[in-house]
Amino acid sequence: MNPQTLKIDGARLLQRLRDLGRFGALEGGGTNRLALSDADRAARDWTVAQMQALDMAVAVDAIGNVVATYAGTEALPPVMTGSHIDTVRTGGLYDGNYGVMAGLEVVATLRDAGLRPRRPIQVAFFTNEEGARFQPDMLGSLVLVGGLPLQQALAVPAVDNGALLGDELQRIGYAGSAPVGRPVVDSFVELHIEQGPVLEQQATAIGVVEGVQGICWMEFTFDGTSNHAGTTPMALRHDAGECAMRTAVFVAELVARYGGRQLGTVGALQIRPNLINVIPNQAVMTVDLRNTDGQRLRNAQAEVLAFARAMALRSGVQFQHRQLADFAPVAFDADLVASVERHARAQGLSTLRMPSGAGHDAQMLARVCPTAMVFVPSAGGLSHNVREHTAPEQLEQGANVLLQVLLERAGR
């Protein structure tokens, strides 16, 4: 059999995605599967069972990453694919899950055909990619490649109940023994939905991802003085809420001033005591800054931080700053990117070279091996939403591109 004629089973892939979506299912078709929750444990157990049914050797490392290996004909460094199966509270069926299930479908296709490439193929899912319960995001893959010390990661508290990550790994049975910090991987290819509108708007089948933009997450805390809203003159107020709101406006104005690929979001803002007639004594806010240009991202971070500090000083308010995430832009391997483009076009699919606007595990693996990503369209650009959707034929197209790229890499 000519490996270049192999095709994945689209119906089987779609069924896997639907079956995985049962764990933490939400009304409307989405999922709530926060990292290391009971729903995550159930989804992990089910996914591991799928891996074992494909005669893959399954290993769990010390941060809970799960890596399944389909043996090659030679003991060479493996070609890896995969993503994550944790979700945000209002997640869809495809974000992360698609990359893992498509990896298993690639292995199922090879197994059905009786084919084993020269190099092993690994399918992985990484712990806490979303960062919705433990911070930073992409924590599992970051620990895997040695970018975050294991003990520091295990001591991270959950944002929902304060439980430590290490304790939660033990609780759900995924505190593994495989080592972290120095993975031996030939290359890594991650298949993912775009999570944005570009491919759909341009009627393009495959996004050839050239890299991931840099991400900076910050948390600001302003502490002022509560007082009566009707009797305290404006000039005598120490208004924590005003500081936060003016900083939020500054972020929007900065993004407009920078232009290009600069993005900025104030995603969370909590004001206390949150009463209509009381001057706020505390405001806690988050700032999310992103850019493909590392220097401009650093400049934006410095400007926002300086403005927040100046606002606090002017208002007689105490200010604290906490860095939640700080990842530089990542450029993917040129040869592997070209391989994605070549195999997509060989299948008659239109392509677009593009950056990733979201963070992905692939950017962490890029620290240790050649890495690339494949995008398929997201209907309406929706993601982190129960209505997240990608058409079955588009899911199949992406998985077929992944199949051929992995075969080429594993055949070397």
Q: Which residues are annotated as a binding site for Zn(2+)?
A: 84, 95, 130, 192, 384
| Tokens read off for 366 | 């890029």
- Residues that constitute the known binding site: 84, 95, 130, 192, 384
| Tokens read off for 195 | 């999570």
In SS3 terms, the chain reads as CCHHHCCCCHHHHHHHHHHHCCCCECCCCCECCCCCCHHHHHHHHHHHHHHHHCCCEEEEECCCCEEEEECCCCCCCCEEEEECCCCCCCECCCCCHHHHHHHHHHHHHHHHHCCCCCCCEEEEECCCCCCCCCCCCCHHHHHHCCCCCHHHHHCCECCCCCCEHHHHHHHHCCCCCECCCCCCCCEEEEEEECCCCHHHHCCCCEEEEEEECEEEEEEEEEECCCCECCCCCHHHCCCHHHHHHHHHHHHHHHHHHHCCCCEEECCCEEEECCCCCECCCEEEEEEEEEECCHHHHHHHHHHHHHHHHHHHHHHCCEEEEEEEEEECCEECCHHHHHHHHHHHHHCCCCEEEEEECCCCHHHHHCCCCCEEEEEECCHHHCCCCCCCCCCHHHHHHHHHHHHHHHHHHHCC
User: How far is residue 73's CA from residue 120's CA, in Å, rounded to a whole number?
Assistant: 8
Contact of 168 with 351, CB cutoff 8 Å: no
